Amino acid sequence: MAQPLTQSQPQETKTKPKSSMLSYIAMIILFLIILVGIAVLIIWLVLKPKHLQYSVEDAAIHNFNLTDANHLYANFDFTIRSNNPNSKVSILYDSIEVSIRYEDQTLATNAIQPFFQPRKNVTRMHVRLTAQTVALYDSVPKDLKLEKTSGDIELDVLIRAKIRFKVGALKLKHRVLKVFCSKLLVNFSKAKTFERYSCDVEM
């Protein structure tokens, strides 16, 4: 009597899934990110950096002209004082922009050259902003004429910058610096001595 034929089953080769290798790599990367974050936090807590201090030391208006069509031309000159009071932290200004506003309207904007501010340093920035035939709306032309007659104009100066803190050779990640210098009273004729205004700093 013939024996039934038996077919041999092919042996399965065990292969390590690729997904487990990817998970292992992802865990290593996550661990390194957490480790770097903890190191930065420890450095930050040890250094305890102080807030940057900003103020406007001088301000002037030149060539002010408001046309009958409510277009403004004027030059605004400011001396802005930046104080870094930190003894262990220096500042890298990668970009910095200054704007001037009257009421709710922006009159002029200008970018400043990037710069490096060392530790325990005071840097003065001389900024000129030009309003080049800026169209004015709503009650702004009327209010400007009244303030021109009175001799003083109330302006807001806004500064926005991308900065990095530098500790030794370590450069921390970018932060956005916002500076608000509100209600600066600027005299048209420079007959009055300009009083230094302190600004609000936000990071």
Which pLDDT value is given to residue 173?
Answer: 85
Is the predicted pLDDT of residue 65 greater than 80, yes or no?
yes
Spatial contact of 90 and 119, defined as CB atoms under 8 Å apart: yes
171 or 75: whose pLDDT is higher? 75
pLDDT at 8: 52
81 - beta bridge partners? 55, 124
pLDDT at residue 75 tops 60: yes
* 129 close to 110: Cβ distance less than 8 angstroms: yes
Report pLDDT for 98.
97
Q: Cβ neighbours of residue 102 under 8 Å, at least 6 residues apart?
A: 140, 143, 144, 153, 154, 155, 156
Question: What is the model's pLDDT at position 131?
Answer: 95
Q: What is the pLDDT of residues 7-20, one digit of tens each?
A: 555 555 555 566 78
- Residues 20-49 pLDDT 10s: 888 888 888 888 888 877 776 766 665 667
- What would the CATH number be for the domain defined by 50-202? 2.60.40
pLDDT digits (tens, 9 = 90+) for 91-145: 999 999 999 999 989 999 999 999 999 999 999 999 999 999 999 998 999 999 9
Mean pLDDT of the chain: 87
The residue-averaged pLDDT of 159-175 equals 89
Domain boundaries of the chain, sorted by first residue: 20-49, 50-202
Tokens of 75: 């030059």
Between 196 and 6, the more confident residue is 196
pLDDT at 142: 93
Q: What is the pTM of this model?
A: 0.75
